[in-house]
Amino acid sequence: MQFNTLTLTLQNFITVLSGAYGRIQGSASTLLGILIGIEVVLLGLWTALGGGDNVVGIFKRILHIGAWVWIVQSYPTLSKALVESLVKAGLLAGGGSGDVSLLMDPSRLAGYGLDATEPLTRKLADLGMTDLSDLIVFGFGYLAIMACFLIMAINVFLAVLEYYLFAALAGILLPFGLLEPTKFLAEKAIGAVVSAGVKLMVLGLVTAIIDPVLSSIHFAGPEITFNELWSVFLTVCALMFLCWKAPSLAASLLGGSPHLGVDHLVQAATAPLAAGLAAGTVAGRAAAGVSALRAAASAPQGVGASSVASAASTLGGRAGGAGAATPGASGSPRGASAGAPPAADPSLVLSAMGKASPPAGPAPRAGA
């Protein structure tokens, strides 16, 4: 079935981004000239201060300047050759013909979904309100299958667009590779372009493998059973997860720790559930606290005061449990009431800090 919207959008982006470096090349050349002037001045100062005897070092700097000038001027050709070679390698490894247009047409993947779900749409059209259960199940299956195909198409679209975005903007940072303090900018720009190219290579491998499978997915006949519906959904969901996982596989390939498993899918599914349970618990406690405050505020004055006093005494009793009087202690602090809890014994504090407490002497007499 014809479905060209996503491909046309991608082609429009590619057309605009392909000429982006040509529009900023003048600024890049100006920046390159300024940095070359700085490098030449520094080289002259280094030679005048006694480095002229090191002829090898002088020739290395001259070759370094010439190499970066050539890289900046030939950047569009070099980046295009790099990504096309990587994509062709991925497509050939996946059993494809090496045609780069396989990644340039993400609408084809969405079209496979429309072709595969065409019998399902006819069955949904034949169902009425009396078949509510079948309508819900087949309607959910149709939406889930189409969502898998659309996610695969959007993933290819974003991967291709990401490379062209990096390639369009990385050229302005390449002249900074001339100077030692600023060369990290050029290294990051080149690393981003290479990373996007490797991602396209892995995605090309996956796309070349799943393209024949997606084109052959279909229902056996107009009478669709639940088993057939869930079999198609399981197959398409697995392929979608593989296509969605391809960019992270490319990053793992560059980092040297590739990993492919269902634990990421389980983690993605359980994280919202855990967050929802935690939010429900916090909301329940907050609602209980608000209800208690409203009940206390709406109670009569005497009852409310007694309730508050009772709660305060309960909290005070719990907090003062640690400072209760120890056996053998006698007397109370001067000015303390009979019902007030005794103050903490200083000897206990000193003992807790690891210092020897002085022995408790007899209580002074009243007449002393």
Q: Around 182, how many Cα atoms within 13 Å sit in the side-chain half-sphere?
A: 14
250 located within any domain: yes
Residues 304/292, Cβ–Cβ less than 8 Å: no
* 149 located within any domain: yes
Answer with the residue of higher pLDDT: 76 or 299: 76
In a domain, residue 219? The reply is yes
pLDDT value at residue 292:
58
In a domain, 145, yes or no: yes
pLDDT above 70 for 367: no
Sign (positive/negative) of CA torsion 220, 222, 225, 228? Answer: positive
Q: Has residue 274 got a pLDDT over 70?
A: no
Using alpha carbons only, give the angle 4, 6, 8 rounded to the nearest 5 degrees: 65
Q: How far apart are CA 60 and CA 180, in angstroms?
A: 14
186/178 Cα distance (integer angstroms):
9
Which residue segment(s) compose the domain that 15 sits in? 5-262
What's the CA gap between 165 and 197, in Å, rounded? 12
Average pLDDT over residues 255-262: 54
Sign (positive/negative) of CA torsion 268, 270, 275, 280? positive
Domain count, the chain: 1
pLDDT of residue 23: 87
pTM: 0.63
Residue 13, SS3 per DSSP = helix
Write the pLDDT tens digit of every residue in 14-28.
888 888 888 888 888
pLDDT at 136 over 60: yes
Q: How far, rounded to the nearest angstrom, does the alpha carbon of residue 153 sit from its chain's CA centroid? A: 20
**206: number of Cβ within 10 Å:** 21
DSSP alpha helix (H) spans, the chain: 5-18, 20-48, 55-73, 75-93, 107-116, 118-126, 132-170, 183-216, 226-255, 263-298, 301-319, 346-352
CB atoms within 10 A of CB 43: 16
Residue 330's H or E segment, with its range, is none
Q: Which residue has the higher pLDDT, 94 or 274?
A: 94
Q: Is residue 136 part of a domain?
A: yes
CA 204 to chain centre: 23
| Best CA proximity match to 230, nearest among 148, 152, 144 | 144
97 or 264: whose pLDDT is higher?
Answer: 97
Q: Which distant-in-sequence residues (6+ apart) come within 8 Å of 206 by Cβ?
A: 94, 242, 243, 246
**Is residue 289 included in any domain, yes or no?**
no
Model pLDDT for residues 71-114, shown as the tens digit of each residue: 888 888 888 898 889 899 888 988 877 778 888 888 888 888 88
Q: What distance separates the 2 farthest-apart alpha carbons in the chain?
A: 111
In this structure, are residues 249 and 261 in contact, taking their beta carbons and an 8 Å threshold? Answer: no
pLDDT for residue 259 is more than 80: no
Is position 362 within any domain?
no
Does some domain include residue 357? no
Give the mean pLDDT of the chain: 73
Which of 173-187, 202-216, 318-332 bottoms out in mean pLDDT, i.e. has the lowest? 318-332
